[in-house]
Amino acid sequence: MSEVLVLVDEVDGEVKKVTFELLTAAREIGEPAAVVVAAPGTAAKVRESLAAYGAAKVYVAESDDVANYLLTPAVDVLAALVAAKSPAAVLISATADGKEIAGRLAVRTDSGLLIEAIGLENAGGDVVGVQSIFGGAFTVKAKTNRGTPIVTVRPGGVDAVEAAGAAAEETVEVPSVEAARATAITGREPIVGGDRPELTEASIVVSGGRGVGSAEKFEVVEKLADALGAAVGASRAAVDSGYYPAQFQVGQTGKTVSPQLYVALGISGAIQHRAGMQTSKTIVAVNKDAEAPIFEIADFGVVGDLFAVAPQLTDEVAKRKG
Amino acid sequence: MPNIVVLVKQVPDTYSERRLADADHTLDRESADAVLDEINERAVEEALLIKEAQGGEVTVLSVGPQRATEAIRKALSMGADKAVHVSDPALHGSCLLQTTKVLAAAIGKVDGVDLVIAGNEATDGRGGAVPAMLAEVLGFPQLTHARKVAIDGTTITVTRETDTGLTHLSATLPAVVSVGEKINEPRYPSFKGIMAAKKKPVETYTVADLGIDAGEVGLAAASTTVLEATPKPPRSAGQRVEDGGDGGAKIAEYLIGQKLI
């Protein structure tokens, strides 16, 4: 069975959930081989969790350059592996960094690029990517026509399933950086994440819209989110009104999420917003306006005041969790 | 005096319904209202700010159907100096790789480019990768998702903003920059700007003019093929209740029934 390269997404040796989703998707089309392009010492920290999700191999490409140059070290390593190992496909998470790495790799290897897949299929030897486009209005199946299929996979698109893998390590060289064409990283200010899960990685998302009314009142959204262990999102109307920061915006011009449960509080459900959340497995909506379009796609809707309904739900959830 | 090329693209308005053409699964560009992608206006604004501070020239580049002239006019009326429009029926259905190649060839038509500026994500294809791909083709450093750009001589520094936080970047010109939502507030074209735009030169090229064989671009030669496109059955509305003082409890009941809590 041919190898499927999976670029590992990690922060300080902690593997992101999306990597496990990629390893799961890779098993549909071949044998997953994890690629760790990171600072020295990282592979030792991540190997065990990669093995738990079926990585048969772990390619270890460690160098200080990885932290000092933007993205190109990962492109260089993957391009070398594509040439040396002729993998069935290369899977990369559809994050800001991942999309750019994938795009450059497709150019470098003259390969077809499938973007934001939510699943992979093996169709008679062809790797077929399943994509949900225009905010879930269409499901598209596509394949590549030349080179090695390079696929970015949307976080949350595939459910991660554990499977034992040997995770046999093989060291790979990080090619030296060509300074004139590379971009140096001179500093980093990572977002200090609170206790809440990341929006695109969360299995539950609670979002607030214009109906929340002010930045202060967003607390009611946050309290429900915290009771559920959920991420907090916001509609464009809420962000534009200054109720909540832009990085939490869900919708066509914000993030696309597909959690197990999406709770929409005071969100009317304009196409713009639905585009970012209508692939959620279950949608619950609370809105004062019985005519709000969000109810057309909600599995369970309550017509009422979110400031009465949400706190009650928060209490019920807290009670249940004891 | 940086010589700047700004990429602009006409996209369907995200507030209107978008469809795929039945025949070949390409975007039905006629069915939706088109607007200049709002992020492109920020790209144009950033180019104009650099020009106003340091001199130089701003060329607008668009690859797309005849309708793209609206996007080009908007950018010129904001203050860009001239435009290059690549328009060719052969481009219909081009993939990201082909589009990137055409953009790179068109950039080659502008003499001595120091800086290429684009929006960080077009809202129709949502690839988010074209600026990086372009940097790869051109062999330029990429400084993408910028929220701040500064140029000092041939050194460019950028503050990159993504979900994971801020990264400070530094590279040598020529370079490719993509700008994010927070970079600036685009200006409105003035009446004078709109009038002046009508006299600004717009050069139109076919792919052959760029030295690319028409057979290398378009749907037939694309690096990816859409096998099938299925409109998603619209999500049907589920239960809906009026809050009679127990709305929250009813949701909890539903979630417990669905094993979600």
For residue A142, give the nearest of B123, B226, B261 by CB distance. B226
A136 CA: distance to closest CA in chain B (Å): 7
Looking at the predicted structure, is the pLDDT value of residue B232 above 80? no
Query: What is the number of structural domains in chain B?
Result: 1
Class of A3-181 in CATH: alpha beta
CA distance A129 to A121: 6
CA nearest to B61, candidates B119, B148, B123, B133: B119
Contact B47, B80 (CB under 8 A): yes
Cross-chain residue pair A261–B226, CB shorter than 8 Å: no
- Whether A229 and chain B come into contact, CB under 8 Å, resolves to no
Q: What is the pLDDT of residue B15?
A: 44
For residue B127, give its domain range: 3-221
Model confidence at B13, in pLDDT bands (50, 70, 90)? very low
User: Do the domain assignments include residue B241?
Assistant: no
Q: What is the pLDDT of residues B39-53, one digit of tens each?
A: 889 999 999 999 999
Structure tokens at A163: 């499977």
Whether B96 sits inside 8 A of A272 (CB atoms) is: no
Q: In this predicted structure, what is the pLDDT of residue B31?
A: 47
Span A68-73, average pLDDT: 96
Could you say which residues from 54 to 113 on chain A have a Cβ atom under 8 Å away from some Cβ of chain B?
70-71, 75, 95-97, 99-104, 106-108, 110-113
Per the structure block, which two tokens stand in for A251? 């919708």
Q: Chain B residues with CB inside 8 Å of A113's CB? A: 95-97, 127, 129, 223-224
Among A4-18, A52-66, B180-194, B226-240, the minimum mean pLDDT is found in: B226-240
**Residue range A275-288: mean pLDDT, rounded:** 92
Q: Rg of chain B's alpha carbons, rounded to an integer? A: 22
Average pLDDT, chain B: 87
Of A70, A102, A252, which is closest to B142 when you measure between CB atoms? Answer: A70
- To the nearest whole angstrom, how far is the Cα of B143 from the nearest Cα of chain A? 7
* Residue B166 counted as domain residue: yes
User: What's the predicted TM-score (pTM) here?
Assistant: 0.85
Which residues does chain B have within 8 Å of residue A264's beta carbon, measured at their own beta carbons? none
Q: Is the peptide bond before B65 cis (omega within 30 degrees of 0)?
A: no
Sketch the domain layout of chain A as residue ranges: 3-181, 204-321
Q: What is the CATH number of domain A204-321?
A: 3.40.50.1220
The predicted-structure confidence for A301-311, as pLDDT tens digits, reads as follows 999 999 999 99
The pLDDT confidence band at residue B187, using thresholds 50, 70 and 90, is very high
Q: For an interface test with A, give the residue of B126, B130, B168, B219 to mutate (most A CBs within 10 A).
A: B126
CB contact under 8 A, B230 and A140: yes
Q: Quick check: A85 pLDDT over 50?
A: yes
**Residue B120 contacts residue B180 (beta carbons within 8 Å):** yes
**Distance between CA atoms of A191 and A181, rounded to whole angstroms?**
28
Q: Which of A88-102, A198-212, B120-134, B236-250 has the lowest mean pLDDT?
A: B120-134
B193-223 pLDDT per residue, tens: 999 999 999 999 999 999 999 999 988 888 9
Paired tokens of B59: 């060329």
Q: Decide if A114 contacts B227 (C-beta within 8 A).
A: no
Which residues of chain B have a CB within 8 Å of the CB of A139?
229-230, 232
Q: Is the pLDDT of residue B235 over 80?
A: no
Record: contact A282-B163, CB cut-off 8 A: no
Query: What distance in Å separates residue B22's CA from the closest CA in chain A?
Result: 12
Asked whether the beta carbons of residue B125 and residue A297 sit closer than 8 angstroms, the reply is: no
- Residue B249 placed within a domain: no
Tokens of A293: 């379009």
DSSP class of A250: B
How does residue A193 score in pLDDT terms, banded at 50, 70 and 90? low
Residue B20: per-residue pLDDT: 62
- State the pLDDT at residue A74: 97
B145 neighbourhood in chain A, CB within 8 Å: 96
Residue B150 lies in a domain: yes
Nearest CA in chain B to A142: B226
pLDDT band at A247 (very low <50, low <70, confident <90, very high): confident
Percentage of the residues of chain B whose pLDDT score is greater than 90: 61
Q: Which of A27-41, A55-69, A237-251, B24-38 has the lowest mean pLDDT?
A: B24-38
Interface membership of A139 toward B (CB under 8 Å): yes
> Which residues share a beta bridge with A123?
A126
- Closest approach of A91 to chain B, Cα-based (Å): 15
What is the dihedral angle through the alpha carbons of B13, B17, B21, B27, rounded to the nearest 10 degrees?
30
CA A107 to chain centroid, in Å, comes to 23
Cross-chain Cβ contact A300/B254 below 8 Å: yes
Contact list, B130 vs chain A (CB under 8 Å): 103
A288–B contact, CB cutoff 8 A: no
Residue A309 tokens, joined: 């309904």
Q: Can you give the pLDDT at residue A307?
A: 96
**Residue B200: alpha-carbon gap to chain centroid:** 22
Give the 3-state secondary structure of residue B44: helix
Tell me the percentage of chain B whose pLDDT exceeds 70: 87
Using DSSP, state whether B209 is helix, strand or coil: helix
Q: By C-alpha distance, which of A253, A242, A240, A235 is closest to B39? A: A253
Q: Do the domain assignments include residue B261?
A: no
Mean pLDDT of B95-122: 90
Q: How far is B235 from chain A (nearest CA, A)?
A: 5
- List, for residues A102-133, the tens digit of each pLDDT value: 999 999 999 999 988 989 998 888 899 998 77
Strands B3-7 and B57-63: parallel
Cα–Cα distance measured from residue B227 to residue B20, given in angstroms and rounded to the nearest whole number: 13
Reply yes or no on whether the pLDDT at B70 is more than 50: yes
**Whether residue A192 has pLDDT greater than 60:** yes
Q: What does the pLDDT read at residue A73?
A: 97
Residues B223, B133 contacting (CB under 8 angstroms): no
Q: What is the sign of the dihedral through the CA atoms of A234, A239, A240 and A242? A: positive
Predicted pLDDT at A194? 67
Among positive and negative, which fits the CA dihedral A289, A292, A296, A297? negative
Which phi and psi (to 5°) does residue B240 adopt? -140, 130
Contacts of B231 in chain A (CB under 8 A): 137-138
Other Cβ atoms within 10 Å of B17 Cβ, number: 13
B232–A302 CB contact, under 8 Å: no
pLDDT at A256 over 90: no
ipTM over 0.95: no
**Mind listing the pLDDT tens digit for each residue in A13-38?**
999 999 999 999 999 999 999 999 99
Q: Which chain A positions have a beta carbon within 8 Å of B100's beta carbon? A: 103, 107
Is a pLDDT exceeding 60 seen at residue B30? no
Sheet containing B142-152: which strands, arranged edge to edge?
Answer: A184-190, B165-172, B155-162, B142-152, B175-179, B115-119, B3-7, B57-63, B82-86, B202-205
- The more confident residue out of A23 and B38 is A23
pLDDT of residue B126: 52
* Residues B10/B68, Cβ–Cβ less than 8 Å: yes
Q: How confident is the model at residue A195 (pLDDT cuts 50, 70, 90)?
A: confident
- For tokens 């799961």, the residue is A24
Domain A3-181 and domain A204-321, same fold? Reply is yes
- β-bridge mates for residue B257, sequence order: none
Which residues in chain B touch residue A184, judged by CB atoms under 8 angstroms apart?
169-171
In this complex, the residue of B133, B231, B261 whose CB is nearest that of residue A103 is B133
Q: Taking 80 as the threshold, does the pLDDT of residue B18 lie above it?
A: no
If DSSP codes are grouped into helix, strand and coil, which group holds residue B126?
coil
Mutate to test the interface with A, among B154, B169, B255 (most CBs of A within 10 A): B255
In contact, B110 and B60? CB cutoff 8 Å: no
Q: Using one digit for the tens of pLDDT, what is the confidence trace for A130-183?
A: 987 766 677 889 999 999 999 999 887 888 999 999 999 999 999 999 888 899
Task: Identify the CATH number of the domain in which residue B11 sits.
Answer: 3.40.50.620
Q: Which of A262-266, A294-298, B12-16 has the lowest average pLDDT?
A: B12-16
Q: What is the mean pLDDT of residues B127-156?
A: 93
Q: Which residues of A touch B13 (CB under 8 A)?
A: none
Residue of A nearest to B130 (CA): A103
As a whole number of Å, the end-to-end CA separation of chain B is 61
Answer whether residue B245 is part of any domain: no
End-to-end CA distance of chain A, in Å?
Answer: 48
DSSP line for A75-115: HHHHHHHHHHH--SEEEEE-SHHHHHHHHHHHHHHT--EEE
